[in-house]
């Protein structure tokens, strides 16, 4: 599955992985179904990541709230705490460019790739995200035997400073650099830990 993650070519990268091992393959299969339900319910990610972290909502091609599992062409609308994004009316936007599931005898995996994009509720084509569109966030959950993992891989993370006001450029650089250093790593670790949490 890692061959699906775009190669790192510019800017920063991040890799966040949480794993748990269960007592048997059958237990792991049952728990993976729960992990998968959590994973495709993007609107509930903040429940797993913790309330002080970013808010996520899944949006359709018109930018309207979607309660379905994500599909290619949908959007994630993200509210980063503390730093309002003027371009996206307070939100950062990414678009789903891949959603894939794989199953074999002893493993299963679900993969989502998103990329910074413009706000679909506006006619403006300006990227409404603190990263440049070269960046991707790659989310995946997988089970191999009795081991389950949740992963987030950021690639080519460059601050978005195109076609923006000075205020927006400063904001994006601050959020991007903060994210590249520590903030997003902390955030993603909360999410990956929350997604795979096992409650007997």
pLDDT in the model for residue 130: 64
Q: Is 85 helix (H, G, I), strand (E, B) or coil?
A: coil
Distance between CA atoms of residues 55 and 44, nearest Å? 9
| pLDDT-based confidence at residue 90 (cuts at 50, 70, 90) | low
pLDDT in the model for residue 3: 77
Residue with tokens 């992990």: 35
- Res. 71: pLDDT tops 50: yes
Domain that residue 95 falls in: 11-196
Closest CA to 132 of 115, 120, 154, 113: 115
- CATH code: domain of residue 117: 3.30.530.20
Pairing of strands 75-79, 55-59: antiparallel
Q: Is 44 helix (H, G, I), strand (E, B) or coil?
A: helix
Indicate whether 3 belongs to any domain: no
Domain count along the chain: 1
Indicate whether 81 belongs to any domain: yes
pLDDT in the model for residue 97: 96
What DSSP character marks residue 76?
Answer: E
pLDDT mean over 82-105? 78
Distance between CA atoms of residues 192 and 19, nearest Å? 9
pLDDT in the model for residue 168: 61
Indicate whether 5 belongs to any domain: no
Higher-confidence residue of 118 and 71: namely 71
Indicate whether 2 belongs to any domain: no
Indicate whether 72 belongs to any domain: yes
Over residues 151-188, the pLDDT tens digits come to 999 999 877 666 556 656 555 556 555 554 444 555 78
Over residues 110-126, the pLDDT tens digits come to 999 999 888 888 877 77
Q: Is 143 helix (H, G, I), strand (E, B) or coil?
A: strand
pLDDT in the model for residue 118: 86
pLDDT in the model for residue 166: 60
Average pLDDT over the chain reads 83
- Res. 43: pLDDT tops 60: yes
Indicate whether 6 belongs to any domain: no
11-15, 60-64, 142-146, 177-181: lowest mean pLDDT where?
177-181
Which helix H or strand E contains 181, and what residues bound it? helix 166-181
Indicate whether 189 belongs to any domain: yes
pLDDT mean over 59-88? 82
């Amino acid at each position: 599955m890692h061959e699906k993650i775009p190669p790192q070519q510019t800017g920063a990268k991040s890799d966040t992985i949480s794993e748990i091992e269960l007592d048997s393959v059958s237990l792991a299969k049952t728990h993976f179904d729960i992990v998968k339900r959590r994973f495709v319910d993007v609107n509930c990610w903040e429940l797993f990541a913790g309330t002080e972290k970013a808010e996520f909502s899944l949006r359709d091609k018109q930018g309207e709230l979607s309660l379905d599992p994500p599909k290619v062409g949908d959007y994630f609308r993200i509210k980063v705490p503390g730093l309002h994004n003027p371009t996206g009316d307070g939100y950062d936007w990414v678009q789903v460019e891949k959603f894939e599931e794989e199953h074999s005898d002893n493993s299963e995996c679900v993969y989502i790739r998103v990329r910074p994009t413009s706000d679909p509720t506006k006619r403006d084509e300006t990227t409404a995200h603190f990263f440049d569109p070269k960046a991707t966030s790659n989310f995946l959950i997988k089970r191999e035997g009795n081991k389950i993992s949740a992963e987030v891989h950021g690639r080519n993370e460059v601050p978005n400073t195109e076609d923006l006001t000075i205020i927006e450029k400063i904001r994006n650089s601050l959020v991007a650099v903060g994210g590249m250093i520590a903030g997003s790593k902390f955030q993603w670790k909360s999410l990956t830990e929350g997604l795979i949490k096992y409650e007997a």
